[in-house]
Amino acid sequence: MFEGFSGTRIEVSSVGINLVQGGAGPPLLLLHGYPQTHAMWHKVAPQFAGHYTVVAPDLRGYGDSGKPASDDLEDFCKRTSAQDQVEVMAALGFERFHVVGHDRGARVGHRMALDHPERVRSFTSLDVVASQAAFDNMNRDLAYSWFHWHLMRQPSPFPETLIGNSAEFYLDFLLGQWTAVDGAITDEAYAEYLRCFSDPETIRTTCMDYRAIAVDLVHDEADRGRKIACPMLVLWAGNMARRPGWQTGGTLDMIGSWRERAGDVRGRALDCGHFLAEEAPDETAAEILAFLSGC
């Protein structure tokens, strides 16, 4: 994976961030989601690298990036994770850049676009409804599909113990239920996800990431009504038959949730499941490249 890319580790304020970098041109930051690592971009990163300098890190608490020993939710909130990535890009010499986020990475990107508008040229969200919209409209359908949110928010060590009892079984359930295109996750990528996810520290810190929604929602409430200034692209899963209620429950509209939070929003559903960059890589890359060309 990532042929022609180079790997490095950058120390930021409180953690080391593992990343790969490749290509040439304007900087493009790719932020992965749960339960994955930067490896989720391996099918689309080479396509982006023909036009952009691509930076694909592991978020704090994930992959081979640092895993703070802290039990302070502020150390795992999206504001802190966004600050990590701003510092990473600055260390690489990039003061302003495009951001593409999937899942948790999109939540980090959202916070980054609000906290650091001078840094973010454009923001692309892959298959997430805005956190505030989801929790404002939580119903039985959304609660069912987001069972992992409610499990992982429970006090330590309850979720850590349950997940750690069989990390592989839990990972396989998530990947299987959230994927609509069988075989989309390659053996090489799966091996990397399993390697990282099997680390008890990863289980602990990813639970902390989900618990930090308590802090994230406080930050979101302070910014209620404030809109993202940069152009925004929203792409989402059009086939979640295996996980009814995914992201929007019975009442929410994916792009509508973002139009309440950004002034310039476009996008559409793709015929795949949650892992767009792996299930529909060519279509995902084409949509993002077309969007970026106008930003």
pLDDT 10s digits, 27-85: 999 999 999 999 999 999 999 999 999 999 999 999 999 999 999 999 999 999 999 99
For residue 60, give Cα distances in angstroms to 69, 177, 197.
12, 25, 13
Summary mean pLDDT of the chain: 96
The reported pLDDT for the residue numbered 248 is 76
The reported pLDDT for the residue numbered 12 is 96
The rounded distance, in Å, linking the Cα atoms of 153 and 287 is 34
CA-closest candidate to residue 265, choices 286, 235, 238, 226: 235
HSE value, Cβ hemisphere, 13 Å, CA-based, for 36: 29
Instruction: Report the pLDDT averaged over residues 217-229.
Output: 97
The reported pLDDT for the residue numbered 13 is 84
Query: Which of the residues are catalytic?
Result: 103, 274
The reported pLDDT for the residue numbered 190 is 98
The reported pLDDT for the residue numbered 246 is 81
Q: What is the pTM of this model?
A: 0.97
- Residues 6+ positions from 158 with CB-CB distance below 8 Å: none
Q: Over 90: is that where the pLDDT of 285 sits?
A: yes
pLDDT in tens, 100-149: 999 999 999 999 999 999 999 999 999 999 999 999 999 999 999 999 99
The rounded distance, in Å, linking the Cα atoms of 248 and 251 is 6
